[in-house]
Structure 1
């Protein structure tokens, strides 16, 4: 998969044929680490402390399997910046503002909701429905698990169960570039809603 990804530096207004995917999730869940794997950024090491380093929407344009994709990294929900805690609505407003400047139809292709398995936080994504292209909102959502993937089943049968029953997909992010590419590729693969994706772990 590595040969199918290239970093593009052009900033422009994106047409409907470009896929735009937003990384959403609690602070310190691993959104920025996933982007760094996509861009081969080994110059910055992610802190072990669960504190978000993203304070605004940043975007990375890639070409994956011949498809142009823009990945938006967002501040973590619950991140404390400028003396205020970022809420789901605050992050939504930032993404919507970015879309108005860079997207003709001001809509997202889909959402990668990133969550560390050790931090049991209910996915807060319903309000993003209003800025997603698909009429079937949850089919455009991928729940990306980071951290201890042995605990993934607990999330699926617990706080993720309702979102999964509505058609969201699951992907375990293992921290590699290949895994990051696969997570993003789910938004453009056309796979049916509700399908789970697992990678075997070493015993």
Structure 2
């Protein structure tokens, strides 16, 4: 494994993980009694769940293909910390799958008790996975990947997302994000994308029904 530590900008990964935590918290909160009209609450919940599952799948696919697989390969000839850490991540990530399926089933059948059960478990499991990634996996990116390999992840994620998907992803990512995160993410984007976000994508996103009004 390459031992020279670099300093890649992982802003987008941290922002995405915080967005997953936000949605998981909203899903868990949606299981509690609310004064919101049932139709509005149902639309908000469906929208949040749709965006969460879409971006979870995209993020997971891109990370597996362009990050974890590459890091595994570098560790193959001399097994060490990366393989152990990534094995643990794989196990923890697999535990999320039946919980997502459980929420899906609960929503499909309108079973609020089942939904509350799985939403709470999903949030706890998700927090565990994301905390583990931030503490143990992301530092390995700095230690193992070359600049080209790190850049490949961005290309892979953009391929997974697609051009039209960026107009959904960016306002979802920054929904209710703290100001430092908002500024850090927007600094990474070219001016035309920032303009589209502010003028078109964010207003369109905010018009859709969801569980909480974005702070930004």
TM-score, with length taken from structure 2: 0.28
Larger relative CO (CA 8 A, sep 6+): 1 or 2? 2
User: Going by fraction, where is strand more abundant, 1 or 2?
Assistant: 1
The structure that has the greater radius of gyration is 2
